[in-house]
Amino acid sequence: MARVRITEYRAKKIIIGRRYSGIRIAPGATSTLPRKGRWIFKVDQGIKQRFKKGLVAVVEKSSDVARFRRAWEKKGYSSFLLEPYVSHEAGEERYISFERVRGGLKVLYTADGGVHVESAASSVSEYVARGDSDSARIAEATGLPHEFLEQVISVFNRHFFSFLEINPLVVRGSDVFLLDAAVLVDSAGAFFLRDSWDETDIIQSKISNAVESRVAELQLTTSASLKLKVLNKNGSLFFLLSGGGGSIVIADEASLKGFASMIGNYGEYSGGPTREETYLYAREVVRILLASRAKKKALVIAGGIANFTDVKTTFAGIIDALSEVSHRLKKQNVEIFVRRGGPNETEGLSHMRSFLEHKHIFGSIAGSDAPLTEAVDRAIEYLQS
Amino acid sequence: MTILDRIRKGETGVLVIGMHAPIVQSMLDFDFLSGKSEPSVVAIVTGGVKARKFFFGEKELLVPCVAHVSDLSPRLSGRVRWALNVQSGRRAFNSIVDFFTAFPRSLGVSIFAENVPEAHAAELIRRFSHDKLIWGPASVGFLVPGSLKLGAVGGVDPLQIKNGKLTVSGGIAVGSTSGGMTNELIRSVINAGKHVSFAAAVGGDRFPVTPLSDLFLLAEADTQTKALVYFGELGGVDEYEIVDLIRLKKFTKPLVAYIAGVIDDAFDEHVQFGHAKALVSHNDESARAKRDALKKAGAVVSETFPEFLSALSKLPESPVNDTNYSVDSLMTRRASILSTRKIVAYEKIPAFVKKGALVKGAEHAYGKAVLEALLGKKIRSKTTSAFIEAIFQLLIDHGGEVSGAVNTMITARAGKDLVSSLSAGLLTIGPRFGGAINDAARVWLSGVRSSESAEALVKRMNASGVLIPGIGHKKYRVDIPDPRVEAIAAFATLLKKHPCYDFARSVEKVTTGKSGSLILNIDGCIAALVLDILAECERYTHVELTELIDAEFCNTLFIIPRIVGFSAHFIEQKRNDEGLFRLPEDLLFTRGSEKRHGTKNK
C-alpha cells in the first residue's frame, strides 16, 4: 500500500472525462498548438510549486512552446502538458483537497486559493465525507456545485485515489475549472482497475544511482521487501539490515552515538527473501562498501528476531555475496559485525561465524540472546579504535 | 468477559485462509507445546486438495482443506472463532467479508498481506471494526501465550516458541506497528525476566483495521495485564491518540515505549524507511515529536534502545507457571511421504477354536469387519452389519452372461492365470456394468439435499440425455418385481427415516409412469439404503457421505462380492478346460460396405 503520484494529464482525464481538452506531450512527440489562442504549457512530472519554479508558461505560438520545451528539457524534464488558457481573476482562485483518512474522506477547502494558499491557512475549513449525504452538506457549506462534489468523490473512490488537490479551482455558476490538479493514487488498487490509471501514469521517483536502481528493479520481481538508499558513498559504517522496524532502531543507535554522518547506507530486507534474492541484494550493499574511500570500514549484518524469515537461508545468500569479494574485504581491513535471530538461527549463525573467521573478516557475532543493538555498538567501537 | 478472557477459556479455533505451511505448522507446535489436546487450526481454505499433512507434536495430522469458507462441515465450523488470512492483498478483502458472513459470531481476523488497497482497509473498518478484532493489513499476528498464536508472531520454529516462552502466560502486553519488532519485544520482555500477557502487531499499513488505540484499551481492560511495552516509528500520528488516552485516564497502566527514527533528524531531507508509513511529512510525525508528547503524558520513553531494555526489567509482573521442556524431538521429526492408517487391528485377532471346539462367532462378522476396514471406524449398529452381509450375499454373481463374467471366462480359456482373468473381469466394471451404485448414490443424496422434485430431476436428466443411474432393468418391470430389490428394500422398515430411499422411490414413480421397465433396480436400491443406514445408524453427516461418494465407496459394495463370483467362474473354466474360446462366425454381423466380396452396387 503505497501512495504514488500520477501525471496531471491522467488525473484530469479521469476526473473530467471526455470533455477534458488537455494534450499530453510525451518525450519525442511534436509540440505544435492544435489551434490559435492562449494556452497554458507546463511540466507534468509531479513537481510541487511549478509556478514558483518557472515550469508553467502562457503561450500563444507553437514557437513559444518549442522554446520553453527546449529550456525545460535542458533542466532534465521530459513530460509536458498543454491546456487551453482559462482567463480569470486572482480573486476567483479557490482551493480544495480530498484525502482518504480512517473515517472517510477529509476535505480541506478555502475560497482563498492559488499559489499563496499556504499563507491562507486560517481560512481553510475542514470537513469529513463519510457517506453520500455528506457531499450535499459540504456543497452547502462551501458554495461549490453539489453535482461537482458528488462526481469528484465518486471518481475518487472508484479509481483508488488517496489524495487529490485542486488549486486553483475556478467556479462560475455550475461550471467548474480545474486549473491545476495533483493526485496520489493507491498503487495497490492497480489490479482492480481497467480503463483508468496504470503503471505508465505513475511518476517515478528520481533514483540517483545505479545501485539503488538495481535494488528497485529486484524489488519488482519478488514478494519479499528489499530496500536500499545510499546516504554517504564515502561512509565508513555500512548496513545489511533486516526488518522494517529493527533496521531503524539500529540506525538510530549509530545516530545517537554521533555516527550519523558516517553511515554509508540505509536499507532492509524482510518478508522471507530466497537465498538468491538475498545474494543479489547483499551484493549491492557490498559493492558500495568496497567503493567507499573511507579509511576504516565496518559492515553491520543485523536485524531483529525474525518471525518467519529463515536465518540460515538468508545468511547463505549473504555468504554467497561476501565470498565473491572476501579477499578485497580483507585487503581493505573491513570487519563484519553480526546480530540476528529467527528460524534456524543456530545453524545460520554458525555458518556465518565459520565463514567470517576463515576469511579473516570477523568482527563479532551474536544471536537473539544479545540486544538488538549489539552488532552496531561493536562496529562503532571498532571504527573508533 | 473480555475477548482475551474468552481466548484464555479456549475460544481459539482458527480457519486459515490461504496457504502458508510454516506458519500453520508453528501454530500447531504452539498448541502442542501449550499442552492443548486439540489443534487450534480447524481447517484451511485452499483449492485442489481435501487435506494437508502437518505435525501435531511428533505425530502427523491431516488438516482438512476446503475450497471456500462456506464449505466447512458443521462439525468443524462450530469451533471456528478466528481467521488467519495469508492470501495476497488482492484477495484479502473478499475472503474476510465472506468469513464474517459465514461466521457472524467469530471474534476476529489477522491479515498477513501487504498491498491491501487503502479503500479496502477503510471498508473493513467501516463494516467490522466496531465489534471484531482485525489485526493488519501487514500484521504478523496476535499472540495470547499458552492459548492462541494467530500467525507468524513469535517465530515459526519450535525453538523460538520455547525460547520466546510463548506458552507461558504473564503480565506484560506487547504492542507494535512492526512485525519483526513484535517478536524482538517479546524476547526483550523474556530476557528482562518478565512474561507476556498478549502481543499484537497492528501492522505497518496506513489504516490498521483495529487501531493502535484499541490495542491499548485491550491492555487496559485485561486484568492479567500489568503494563504495556510499545514500539513505534516515525511517520503517522497514531501515538497522539495514545497521548489522549493517557490524558483522559482511559489508559492508566505503566507504559514503556521506544519510538524509532531519530536518525531521520540527521539527514537534510526526510528519508523513507522500511515500512510504507515510515516517512515524515509533518513535523509532528517525527520520532522526536512523538517521543516528547508521550513523555509529557507520563510514559517511560527511552532515548536509546539499551535504555529501553533496562526499563523493561523495572516493570511489574504477576507470578507465572513456567515449566522447562525440550523441543529436540520436534526439531528432528521427518514427514512421512504417504499417509495411511491401520486398516485391521492385528493385535485383536479373535480365537476361532478353543479347547478343540469352534468358538461361536459374532453374527455378520465378515461384513462388519469389511465395512470397518473400508470406513476406518467402528460399526455401531447390527442393522448396518446385517445390511452389508445381505448385499455381499446378493451381489456375488448374476449369471454367466453378464459382461464381467464373460471377460473373466474368455481370459481363463485363453490359458491365463487367476489374477489376469480376474483383472479382465474387474476392468469391465464401469459406468454400464456394476458402477451404477456410486452414481445412483450421488443422485439420491443431492436430490434429498436440493429442493428439486423427482419430476424436475427426471425431466432435467432426460433433457440432457443422461440415463438415471439406479433406474431401469432389462428383465424385471413394474409387474414383475426384482426379488432381490424386495429383499433389500425390507431394510427400510428397520429405519426411523429413509430420505434417500423415499427419494429414489419417488423418482421410480415418475419413470415407471413413462415405461414399466424403468423401475428402481438393485443398484439404485442399495445406493439409497446404504446412505440412509450410514446416516441413521452410524451418524454420518451429509458432508461425510459426499466424501465417501467422491472416494467411490459405494462401488466397493459391488466389487468385493463380485470378485467371488468372477473367481468362481474362473475355477469353473479351468476345471472344464475347453480350450481357446472363439466366437462362431455366424454370430458376427459384418456391415455391408465392409464385406470382402461386396454385393453388387446399383
pLDDT, tens only, B133-163? 999 999 999 999 999 999 999 999 999 999 9
B173-196 pLDDT tens trace:
999 988 899 999 999 999 999 999
* pLDDT, chain B, mean: 92
Q: Chain A contacts of B114, Cβ < 8 Å?
A: 1, 225, 271
Q: Which run of H or E residues covers position B110?
A: strand B108-111
Chain B within 8 Å of A113 (Cβ-Cβ)?
no
Which sign, positive or negative, has the C-alpha torsion B78, B81, B86, B90? positive
Chain B within 8 Å of A253 (Cβ-Cβ)?
yes
Is B275 known to be catalytic? yes
Shortest CA gap A351–chain B (Å): 18
Cβ pair B190, B244 in contact under 8 A: no
The model carries a pTM of 0.83
Chain A within 8 Å of B305 (Cβ-Cβ)?
yes
Q: Chain B contacts of A343, Cβ < 8 Å?
A: 22, 155-157, 160
A117-121, B46-50, B507-511: least confident range: A117-121
- B181/A245 touch (CB, cutoff 8 Å), yes or no: yes
Does B600 score more than 90 pLDDT? no
Chain A within 8 Å of B153 (Cβ-Cβ)?
yes
Q: Which of residues 189-218 of A touch B (CB under 8 A)?
A: 189, 191-192
Interface test with A, best of B181, B234, B281, B327 (most A CBs within 10 A): B181
Q: Per residue, what are the HEC states of chain A?
A: CCEEEECHHHHHHHHHHHHCCCEEECCCCCCCCCCCCCEEEEECCCCCCCCCCCCEEEECCHHHHHHHHHHHHHCCCCCEEEEECCCCCHHHCEEEEEEEECCEEEEEEECCCCCCHHHHHHHCEEEEECCCHHHHHHHHHHCCCHHHHHHHHHHHHHCCEEEEEEEEEEEECCEEEECCEEEEEEHHHHHHCCCCCCHHHECCCCCCCHHHHHHHHHHCCCCCEEEEEECCCCCCEEEEEECHHHHHHHHHHHHHCCCHHHECEEEEEECCCCHHHHHHHHHHHHHHHHHCCCCCCEEEEEEEECCCCCHHHHHHHHHHHHHHCHHHHHHCCCEEEEEEECCCHHHHHHHHHHHHHHCCCEEEEECCCCCCCHHHHHHHHHHHC
Burial code (b: 16+ CB inside 10 Å, e: under 16) for B559-596 equals: bbbbeebbbebbeebeeeeeeeeeeeeeeeeeeeeeee
Q: State the residue for C-alpha cell 525460547.
A: B163
pLDDT mean over B200-225 = 94
- What is the rounded distance in angstroms from the CA atom of residue A364 to the CA atom of residue A341? 15
Per-residue pLDDT in tens (0 to 9) along chain A, 385 residues? 478 899 999 999 999 998 999 999 887 777 778 888 899 999 999 888 888 889 999 999 888 999 999 999 998 888 899 999 999 998 999 999 999 998 899 999 999 998 888 887 888 999 999 877 899 999 999 999 999 999 999 999 999 999 999 999 999 988 899 999 999 999 999 999 988 998 889 887 666 688 998 998 898 888 888 999 999 999 999 999 999 899 999 999 999 999 999 999 999 999 899 999 999 999 999 999 999 999 999 999 999 999 999 999 999 999 999 999 999 999 999 999 999 999 999 999 999 999 999 999 999 999 999 999 999 999 999 999 8
- B267/A231 touch (CB, cutoff 8 Å), yes or no: yes
Interface test with B, best of A248, A313, A378 (most B CBs within 10 A): A248
The reported pLDDT for the residue numbered B381 is 95
Chain A within 8 Å of B313 (Cβ-Cβ)?
no
pLDDT mean over B401-428 = 96
Chain A within 8 Å of B235 (Cβ-Cβ)?
no
- B114/A192 touch (CB, cutoff 8 Å), yes or no: no
| Closest partner CB to A372 (pick from B23, B138, B184) | B184
| Closest partner CB to B89 (pick from A188, A260, A263) | A188
| Closest partner CB to B118 (pick from A100, A253, A346) | A100
Interface test with B, best of A160, A308, A377 (most B CBs within 10 A): A308
Q: Which of residues 521-560 of B touch A (CB under 8 A)?
A: none
Among B195, B275, B364, B498, the one annotated catalytic: B275
- Can you tell me the ipTM of this complex? 0.90
List beta partners, residue B134.
B109
- A248/B273 touch (CB, cutoff 8 Å), yes or no: yes
B277-310 pLDDT tens trace:
777 777 788 999 999 999 999 999 999 999 999 9
The reported pLDDT for the residue numbered A1 is 45
The reported pLDDT for the residue numbered B269 is 76
Residue of chain B with shortest Cα separation from A2: B276
- What is the rounded distance in angstroms from the CA atom of residue A149 to the CA atom of residue A155? 10
CA atoms in the 13 A half-sphere facing the CB of B251: 29
Chain B within 8 Å of A118 (Cβ-Cβ)?
no
CA atoms in the 13 A half-sphere facing the CB of B45: 26
- What is the rounded distance in angstroms from the CA atom of residue B557 to the CA atom of residue B392? 7
Does B597 score more than 80 pLDDT? no
Does B482 score more than 70 pLDDT? yes
Q: Is B366 helix (H, G, I), strand (E, B) or coil?
A: helix
- What is the rounded distance in angstroms from the CA atom of residue B444 to the CA atom of residue A94? 71
Q: Chain A contacts of B176, Cβ < 8 Å?
A: 245
Chain B within 8 Å of A306 (Cβ-Cβ)?
yes
A211-254 pLDDT tens trace:
998 998 898 888 888 999 999 999 999 999 999 899 999 999 99
Q: Which of residues 80-119 of B touch A (CB under 8 A)?
A: 89-90, 114-119
The reported pLDDT for the residue numbered B174 is 98
Which set of grid coordinates corresponds to residue B582? 472363439
- What is the rounded distance in angstroms from the CA atom of residue A124 to the CA atom of residue A118? 10
The reported pLDDT for the residue numbered B602 is 43
Q: State the residue for C-alpha cell 492483498.
A: B89
pLDDT mean over B250-273 = 89
Residue of chain A with shortest Cα separation from B208: A102
**DSSP string of B1-43, one letter each residue:** --HHHHHHTT--EEEEES--HHHHHHHHHHHHHTT-SS-SEEE
Burial code (b: 16+ CB inside 10 Å, e: under 16) for B97-126 equals: bbbbebbeebbbbbbbbbbbbbbbbbbbbe
